A and B are shown apart, each in its own frame.
Chain A
Amino acid sequence: MSVDQRAGAGRGDGRLPDGRHGPGRGLTARDYMTEQRPTWCPGCGDFGILAALREALLQEGIAPHEAVVVSGIGCGSKLPDYMRVNGFMTLHGRPLPVATGFRLANPAMRVIVVDGDGDAYGIGGNHWLHTCRRNPGLVHLVENNQIYALTKGQYSPTTEQGTRTTTSPEGSIERPVNPIRTALAAGATFVARGFAGEPKELARLIREALHHRGYALLDILQPCITYNKVNTYDWYAERIVRLESEGHDPSDFDAAWARAGEFGERIPVGVFYRTEEVPAYEERVPGLKRGPVVERPLDDLDEAAFEALERELV
Chain B
Amino acid sequence: MTDAAGGIDRAELYRHVRRAAALGSDQEAASVVRAVLRSLGQVLPRESRALLEGRLPGELSAEMERFAPPEPDPLLDRELFLGRLTNGLQTEGLYDQTLGGLDLVSSHVDEDAIRQIRAVFGALQAGLPPETRGRLAAELPPEVADWWRDPA
Contact = CB atoms under 8 A, between A and B. Distances in A.
Interface of A: 3-4, 6-7, 10-12, 15-17, 20, 39-45, 47-48, 51-52, 55, 78, 150, 152-153, 196-201, 203, 223, 225-227, 229, 232-234, 237
Contacts, number: 128
Nearest to A38: B79
A200 B79 contact: no
B73 A198 contact: yes
Contact of A233 (B69, B84, B141, B142): B84
B27 interface: no
B103 A237 contact: no
B85 interface: yes
B133 to A, nearest CB: 20
9 contacts: A4-B102, A15-B78, A43-B82, A43-B84, A44-B83, A51-B75, A51-B77, A226-B91, A232-B88
Nearest to A55: B75
Interface stretch (B6-14, B92-100, B123-131): B92-100
B110 interface: yes
Interface string B58-82: 0000000011010001111111101
Interface residues of B, number: 40
A111 to B, nearest CB: 23
B73 to A, nearest CB: 4
A200 B75 contact: yes
Tell me the dominant secondary structure on chain B's binding face. Answer: mixed
Nearest to A17: B74
B5 to A, nearest CB: 31
A234 B106 contact: no
Given A4-B102, A10-B143, A223-B87, A41 B77 contact: no
B104 A48 contact: no
A55 B75 CA distance: 8
A232 B84 contact: yes
A15 B81 CA distance: 13
A199 B75 contact: yes
Contacts of A10: 78, 143
Contact of A150 (B73, B85, B101, B141): B101
A233 to B, nearest CB: 4
B78 A234 contact: no
A197 B101 contact: no
